[in-house]
Amino acid sequence: MATTAQNNWRLETGKDLPSSDRLMTGSADKYLMVSCDSHINEPLDFLKGRIEPKYIDRLPHVKTDPDGTQWLISEAAKPQLVRIPPARTDLLMTPEQFESFEVMAPYTEKMEAEDVMRAAAGRDLNERIGHMESQGVDYEIVFANKGLLGFCTSDPEFAGAMCRGWNRWAKELFKDQPQFMPMAMIAPGILADAIAEVRWAAENGFKGLLMPNRPIYHRKDQPRNTLEYNNKQFEPLWAAIAETGLPITLHVSTGEDPRAVGGNGGAITNFVCHSMTTTVEPLVQMITSGVFERHPTLRLGTIESGIGWVPWLLQQMDYAYKAHHMWVRPVIPESPSFYYRRNCFSAFIEEPQALVNAISEGLEDNIVWSNDYPHHEGSFPHTQAAILRQFSPLSDAQCEKVLGKNAARLFNIEGC
């Protein structure tokens, strides 16, 4: 597909890798490539028949106004605009002097052909397999797309019902496709139910778990629930997960509404400050409250939030551990960075300098790659170009680890 205007940057490759021919499906001695963040594009009715009838009227849905304006309605989030008809100019922001008139069109009218293709991809498995092969991807760690709204309620019972429905839908969809590894969604608000679902996931072949970044859904404009992952009430859950050997993943934009800022600059502000960073706090909570000291085999990964912050975080946690020693409780036997290096990992998409920095900090065993198929922030359909412009400073052995070998170890992928 020809790329023009706003997507031309995706074609830039930078320097070649020493073994760039190993990126292509069918090439000799191909790199094992595991995308540790891909998404399934569920049908609108994926929960039909998989959730109790009493919840049907509460499910996330699209509401259409008489004038054609469409909103995504989720129980605990603010309504989200998904379609603005041409007549509703009142819903568009006033352009700045430095902007052209064209930028004020609804975003759907600003999509190029490639953007439209990405938005519709990932629904049909045969098409998806073809896309994987074209990108050189051997395995996908698969996350929900519409299904992530299963966390979007402050009612833990309802959240659990939606998560169980998604898990059973995903199990059925991917049952004969071992190259796809969906992460079972776990709603932690009701402990006994969460533990039961963890054990069900392990018994049914899931390779990992997805938990929200806050145990109970939170909106920035509402009072925050005080339950956090450093609460000892979660000890039985951590023990049950450790027993299964499944890694926990934390994905951006879960557990709270990322649309905290409206108006000018909101799209980038919310992406950077209220989506990407939301995995950091639960990670720090679990490290510093001693979860990994008590459960040394437990693994935790941050997904889609990148890696640039990881060296900074390790430094700052260790600094606070020493400088604030008089207030630190519990006093974990090792420095916080020790537990990240031993128990945790982080996935990135497009961070060339951060990748070099992480490798220089000795984190090559804690970093995993993803193409975030089929999302716009991901590299599809130009995955090889994205890898070439990022990985050239790495050695061949480091490329092998980051592109696939680390993921094979962390997610227990057989035969790799």
* Domain-wise residue ranges, the chain: 12-60+121-410
- Quick one: what percent of the chain has pLDDT higher than 70? 93
Q: What is the pLDDT of residues 177-220, one digit of tens each?
A: 999 999 999 999 999 999 999 999 999 999 999 999 999 998 77
Instruction: For the chain, give the secondary structure using H, E and C.
Output: CCCCHHHHHHHCCCCCCCCHHHHCCCCCCCCCCEEEEEECCCCCCCCCCCCCHHHHHHCCEEEECCCCCEEEECCCCCCEEEECCCCCHHHCCCCCCCCCHHHHCCHHHHCCHHHHHHHHCCCCHHHHHHHHHHHCCCEEEEECCHHHHHHCCCCHHHHHHHHHHHHHHHHHHCCCCCCEEECEECCCCCHHHHHHHHHHHHHCCCCCEEECCCCCCECCCCCCCCCCCCCHHHHHHHHHHHHHCCCEEEECCCCECCCCCCCCCHHHHHHHHCCHHHHHHHHHHHHHCCHHHHCCCCCEEEECCCCCCHHHHHHHHHHHHHHCCCCCCCCCCCCHHHHHHHHEEEEECCCHHHHHHHHHCCCCCCEEECCCCCCCCCCCCCHHHHHHHHHCCCCHHHHHHHHHHHHHHHCCCCCC
Q: What is the pLDDT of residues 132-191, one digit of tens each?
A: 999 999 999 999 999 999 999 999 999 999 999 999 999 999 999 999 999 999 999 999
Q: What's the pTM value of the predicted model, to 2 decimals? A: 0.91
Instruction: Report the pLDDT value the prediction gives residue 358, as an integer from 0 to 100.
Output: 97
Instruction: Report the pLDDT value the prediction gives residue 263, as an integer from 0 to 100.
Output: 75
Handedness of CA 338, 340, 345, 350 (dihedral sign): negative
Instruction: Report the pLDDT value the prediction gives residue 51, as an integer from 0 to 100.
Output: 95
> Is the domain covering 12-60+121-410 a CATH 3.20.20.140 domain?
yes
pLDDT tens digits for the chain (416 residues)?
556 677 776 777 777 766 777 888 988 889 999 999 999 999 989 998 999 999 999 999 999 999 989 888 998 888 888 888 877 877 777 776 665 555 555 555 667 778 777 888 888 899 999 999 999 999 999 999 999 999 999 999 999 999 999 999 999 999 999 999 999 999 999 999 999 999 999 999 999 999 999 999 987 777 777 899 999 999 999 999 999 999 999 999 888 877 667 777 777 877 777 777 889 999 999 999 999 999 999 999 999 999 999 999 999 999 999 999 999 999 999 999 999 999 999 999 999 999 999 999 999 999 999 999 998 888 889 999 999 999 999 999 999 999 999 999 999 998 87
